[in-house]
Amino acid sequence: MGLTRAVISSILTIITTILALACASPTFSPIQPPSYPLAVRSPYLSVWLPGNLATNLPTAVPEFWTGQKLGWSILARVEENNKWTTYSLFGFGGGDANVVAATVVSGEYTTTRSTFVLTAGAAKFSLEFFSPVDPKNYVRQSLPFSYFTVTVASSKGVPVQVYSAIDKSFTGNFDANPQISLTQTTSGKTSIYEWTPSKPQVFVEKNNAAQWGTVVFASRQSDGSKSFTYSAGQRDTIRGQFVNFGKLSNASTTVAADTITAYAHDLGNVTSAACVTFAIGHYHEDAINYLGAHRTPYFRSVYPNSVSALIHFLDDHSSARADSLAFENKLHDLAIDAGGEKYRDILALTVRQVFGAIELTIPGGATPTDTDDVLVFMKEISSNGDINTLDVIFPAIPLFYVLAPEYIRLLLEPELRYLKNGGPNQAFPVHDLGTYPNATGHDNGNEEHMPVEASSVVLIASLWYAKATGNSIWSGSGGTFTSTLTKYADFLSDENNGLYLPSQLSTIDGPGPLAGQTNLAIKSAVALNAFGVLSGIKKYSDRGLYYASQLYNSSGTGIGQSCGDAAPHFTLQTTDVHDCADYAFSTAFNLYPDVLLGLKTFPQSAVDMEDAFYPTARKEAGVQADTRGDWMSTFWGFWAAASGEEGGATEKQYINDVYAFISNGKNTHPFCDRVHVTGDSVGLEYTWRARPVTGGHFAVLARKKGPDLIWK
Ligand SMILES: *[C@@H]1O[C@H](CO)[C@@H](O)[C@H](O)[C@H]1NC(C)=O
Ligand SMILES: *[C@@H]1O[C@H](CO)[C@@H](O)[C@H](O)[C@H]1NC(C)=O
Ligand SMILES: *[C@@H]1O[C@H](CO)[C@@H](O)[C@H](O)[C@H]1NC(C)=O
Ligand SMILES: *[C@@H]1O[C@H](CO)[C@@H](O)[C@H](O)[C@H]1NC(C)=O
């Protein structure tokens, strides 16, 4: 039989295509980010997957934001030709010859979900890790739980069983004989496992994990599934039950070093699609110590215990998901409109991280009811663990301005109340309220002093809140905090505090204190004008405008301006302490609220000067935040970008540079907000991660589209 050349050639093409399909590497959309958020809802539920591990998802081990590895796996049994095979889909490090890795097809992240598709024999699986973001729904937002759903699809019909397990690593306790008690509760079709420290230490962290409350792991029998079983016990034994029988039994509740809690769902013969949903989280009644009073998550006003909360959470899955899809679509469209697809991809990676650093609280108690007294607390994750740090809340405001501006008040009020009731005896606000979750203040004034930074933040942010919401409770001479804020406006009004700045720290505190920081003096000028507008007391605005006129003069003689050959720009230090010919600069991101809030403290020509400067200042991978360091700040960068011409060269440059950073494949941690822009480490993340400051990425969207865009 003679095969013609043409036939051979087409057979070869077909074989090549089949091989290519079989060996095709997974596709990642929109990019393979440094780290995928998996379950990110509170400072104590912050689980991520390093982006590069997604390629080998079946063996990839997820991590707490710290990098601590977490035991969390998903397996599936698939029957073909009367033979069952167990596949690892996620998080199974190996070491069991009876478990084979499924094949990763794709990975995707959107604003609230990270989704991976794998094939295992005749079945196709999708794993959706969904962390709801719904800030105006206080019950939903405050539940510190996350969903994951395993969906099976099969074209021809195939019997499938699904298993998932977690271990004690979620408790932050790595002792050989951990003092942890384990309970299992069944309520209707729902099963809940709770890992609770035997001797809870309220408000104590170990390895950044809470040493009180309980790690929860829940699931329930889904419609149409044949069986739903669960067990706790020794890791290999429990997994062996699933591998051998597809069912779990013989629970033990003694926690040893290698104890796991697991669920198995028998989905029967899946002829089209079937799915099972799980919940994972950290339940705690005591959320925050606020000045000695315990505060609790908001949801407890409706669901006062873990069982009722988890049953509600699972009941709410489809409606939370539908709402979330609507939110995502709206945000993605707005982001594309404001800054293009790259900007959308940056914002989509930002949102869970910011909400994962906060807790929405009310006063505590066995059955808390005071839903009028809501306060939000934010952890300065990774940089120092402080609570409600002013210069961490402040940069995140653009996100809250766009999504839920009431949070500006909810975040500021803990400190403003503290200051109003006395606070420490000092002329400026405290930088933070303590170490998360202890918002106990600094009565002795022993804190990280940032006199001008902290004073300016409370003044500008208060006007920001009023303008974003139209709520006037903080406005006018009788505003709730006007007399408190006046103290700080008076402090800045002394030019030896607010214009000719003594050596001090600003928000860019890494390089240490410095005298005459121009960008800080800009903040002081904007803050005085902002307070004049908020309070209606003109002398403060006059003072702010006067400071601005001293810092910048269109004839080039302002004390904050450079001189000489280089492109004109705001200097690092004012000329009362330093020569204007020194090229050194800090990005003048404090112009952003002046522009956004329409204050016009500085003339347009000052903004234009700085906007024209940034493209000239760019190093290999972006503009330094401050010439004392070789790194760009992603969020202050977006503040700077959003101060100048809308859609201009500076804005495009920052979007491109931040996008290049998160898509360059060189980084593996939750969104780091600083990247080296020059030198040997160019393109590498610089130290910090998972911080809520990244809310500042919303600056461009906030400027272009205004406040409260999603859930009006
Ligand atoms: C599963 O369903 C398909 C389609 O109906 C059928 O062909 C197959 O034999 C079933 N498999 C088992 C094990 O029942
Ligand atoms: C919170 O305060 C308590 C009581 O002083 C202390 O034991 C605990 O370690 C503090 N927590 C943190 C995270 O600093
Ligand atoms: C449960 O324990 C019983 C008695 O020890 C044993 O016969 C059975 O095989 C065990 N079942 C599983 C699934 O391990
Ligand atoms: C700018 O500087 C010039 C020259 O020093 C001065 O005459 C002018 O008044 C200044 N303009 C403002 C607005 O302060």
Q: What is the pLDDT of residues 184-242, one digit of tens each?
A: 999 999 999 999 999 999 999 999 999 999 999 999 998 888 999 999 999 999 999 99
Ligand 4 mean position, distance from CA 556 (Å): 9
Of all protein residues, the one whose alpha carbon is nearest to atom 1 of ligand 4 is 553
Q: Is residue 18 part of a domain?
A: no
User: In degrees rounded to 5, what are phi and psi of residue 389?
Assistant: -65, 125
Residue 315: pLDDT band by 50, 70, 90 thresholds? Answer: very high
Ligand 3 mean position, distance from CA 250 (Å): 7
Average pLDDT over residues 579-586: 97
Ligand 2 binding pocket includes 203 (Cβ within 6 Å): yes
Ligand 3 mean position, distance from CA 584 (Å): 73
Of all protein residues, the one whose alpha carbon is nearest to atom 14 of ligand 2 is 435
Q: Identify which ligand lies nearest to the alpha carbon of 559.
A: 4
Residues 112 and 259 in one domain: yes
| Residues spanned by the domain of 59 | 30-303
CA proximity to 216, closest of 148, 127, 306, 301: 306
Span 447-470, pLDDT tens digits: 999 999 999 999 999 999 999 999
Specify the DSSP class assigned to residue 33: -
Of all protein residues, the one whose alpha carbon is nearest to atom 14 of ligand 3 is 241
Span 529-549, pLDDT tens digits: 999 999 999 999 999 999 999
Residues 299 and 427 in one domain: no
Residues 252 and 392 in one domain: no
Q: Identify which ligand lies nearest to the alpha carbon of 237.
A: 3
Measure CA 448 to chain center.
24
**Looking at the 3D structure of the chain, how many domains does it have?**
2
Tell whether the model's pLDDT for residue 101 goes beyond 90.
yes
Ligand 3 atom with least separation from CA of 249: 13
Q: Is residue 308 part of a domain?
A: no
Q: Which residue, 245, 269, 303, sits at the end of a domain?
A: 303
Give the global pTM. Answer: 0.95
- Whole-angstrom distance between the N-terminal and C-terminal Cα of the chain? 74
Span 468-523, pLDDT tens digits: 999 999 999 999 999 999 999 999 999 999 999 999 999 999 999 999 999 999 99
| Interior angle at CA 116, CA 166 and CA 692, nearest 5 | 75
Q: What are the residues whose beta carbons fall under 8 Å from the beta carbon of 568, sequence distance 6 or more?
A: 556, 561, 562, 609, 613
Residues 404 and 291 in one domain: no
Tell whether the model's pLDDT for residue 528 goes beyond 90.
yes
Ligand 2 mean position, distance from CA 153 (Å): 48
pLDDT at residue number 18? 47
Residues 286 and 416 in one domain: no
CA proximity to 395, closest of 40, 704, 652, 702: 702
Residues 537 and 454 in one domain: yes
Q: Which residue, 268, 303, 338, sits at the end of a domain?
A: 303
Residues 292 and 382 in one domain: no
Residue 95: pLDDT band by 50, 70, 90 thresholds? Answer: confident
Ligand 3 mean position, distance from CA 75 (Å): 21
pLDDT at residue number 156? 86
Ligand 4 atom with least separation from CA of 550: 14
Residues 550 and 438 in one domain: yes
Ligand 4 mean position, distance from CA 561 (Å): 13
Ligand 3 mean position, distance from CA 230 (Å): 14
Tell whether the model's pLDDT for residue 694 goes beyond 90.
yes
Residue 23: pLDDT band by 50, 70, 90 thresholds? Answer: low
Ligand 2 binding pocket includes 211 (Cβ within 6 Å): no
Q: What are the residues whose beta carbons fall under 8 Å from the beta carbon of 515, sequence distance 6 or more?
A: 501, 502, 503, 504, 573, 577
Q: Is residue 286 part of a domain?
A: yes
Ligand 2 mean position, distance from CA 264 (Å): 39
What are 113's two structure tokens? 């979900």
Ligand 2 mean position, distance from CA 425 (Å): 24
133-142, 177-186, 244-253, 481-490: range with lowest mean pLDDT: 244-253
Ligand 3, CB cutoff 6 Å, lining residues:
241, 245, 249-250
Of all protein residues, the one whose alpha carbon is nearest to atom 6 of ligand 2 is 204
Tell whether the model's pLDDT for residue 57 goes beyond 80.
yes
For residue 503, what is the domain's CATH number?
A: 1.50.10.10
Q: Identify which ligand lies nearest to the alpha carbon of 203.
A: 2
Q: Is residue 625 part of a domain?
A: yes
Q: Is residue 492 part of a domain?
A: yes
Of all protein residues, the one whose alpha carbon is nearest to atom 4 of ligand 1 is 157
pLDDT at residue number 155? 80
Q: What are the residues whose beta carbons fall under 8 Å from the beta carbon of 377, sequence distance 6 or more?
A: 287, 288, 290, 295, 358, 359, 361, 387, 388, 414, 436, 437, 439
Q: Is residue 315 part of a domain?
A: no
Of all protein residues, the one whose alpha carbon is nearest to atom 6 of ligand 1 is 157
Residues 135 and 254 in one domain: yes
Ligand 2 atom with least separation from CA of 438: 1
Ligand 4, CB cutoff 6 Å, lining residues:
549, 553, 555, 557
Tell me the C-alpha to C-alpha distance, in Å, between residue 7 and each of 4, 10, 14, 16. 5, 5, 11, 14
Of all protein residues, the one whose alpha carbon is nearest to atom 4 of ligand 3 is 250
Residues 547 and 659 in one domain: yes
* Mutate which of 553, 561, 563, 600 for ligand 4 pocket (most atoms within 8 A of beta carbon): 553
Ligand 3 atom with least separation from CA of 250: 1
**pLDDT more than 90, % of the chain:** 92
Span 366-408, pLDDT tens digits: 999 999 999 999 999 999 999 999 999 999 999 999 999 999 9
Helices (H), 514-603: 518-535, 538-551, 591-596
Ligand 1 mean position, distance from CA 122 (Å): 12
**pLDDT more than 70, % of the chain:** 96
pLDDT at residue number 224? 80
Ligand 2 binding pocket includes 128 (Cβ within 6 Å): no
**179 C-beta neighbours (distance < 10 Å), count:** 13
* Mutate which of 206, 288, 438, 443 for ligand 2 pocket (most atoms within 8 A of beta carbon): 438
Residue 22: pLDDT band by 50, 70, 90 thresholds? Answer: low
Residue 24: pLDDT band by 50, 70, 90 thresholds? Answer: confident
Average pLDDT, the chain: 95
Q: Which residues pair with 158 in a beta bridge?
A: 270
* Mutate which of 235, 243, 249, 252 for ligand 3 pocket (most atoms within 8 A of beta carbon): 249
Ligand 1, CB cutoff 6 Å, lining residues:
79, 157, 159, 269, 271
Q: Which residue, 303, 324, 346, sits at the end of a domain?
A: 303
CA proximity to 690, closest of 710, 668, 664: 668
Can you tell me the distance from the alpha carbon of 112 to that of 402, in angstroms, rounded to the nearest whole number?
A: 16
Can you tell me the distance from the alpha carbon of 118 to that of 210, in angstroms, rounded to the nearest whole number?
A: 34
Ligand 2 mean position, distance from CA 203 (Å): 6
CA proximity to 397, closest of 358, 342, 340: 358
pLDDT at residue number 175? 81
Q: How many CA atoms lie within 13 A of 57 on its CB side?
A: 33
Q: Is residue 171 part of a domain?
A: yes
Residues 176 and 281 in one domain: yes
Span 627-685, pLDDT tens digits: 999 999 999 999 999 999 999 999 999 999 999 999 999 999 999 999 999 999 999 99
Can you tell me the distance from the alpha carbon of 646 to that of 659, in angstroms, rounded to the nearest whole number?
A: 18
Q: Is residue 201 part of a domain?
A: yes
Are 189 and 303 in contact, with CB atoms under 8 Å apart?
A: no
Ligand 2 binding pocket includes 106 (Cβ within 6 Å): no
Residues 292 and 380 in one domain: no
Of all protein residues, the one whose alpha carbon is nearest to atom 11 of ligand 2 is 204
Are 235 and 166 in contact, with CB atoms under 8 Å apart?
A: no
Taking phi first (over 0 means left), then psi (-120 to 50 degrees means alpha), and beta for anything else, what does residue 692 get?
Answer: alpha
Can you tell me the distance from the alpha carbon of 188 to that of 512, in angstroms, rounded to the nearest whole number?
A: 58
CA proximity to 643, closest of 585, 693, 602: 602
pLDDT at residue number 16? 46
Are 396 and 702 in contact, with CB atoms under 8 Å apart?
A: no
For residue 207, what is the domain's CATH number?
A: 2.70.98
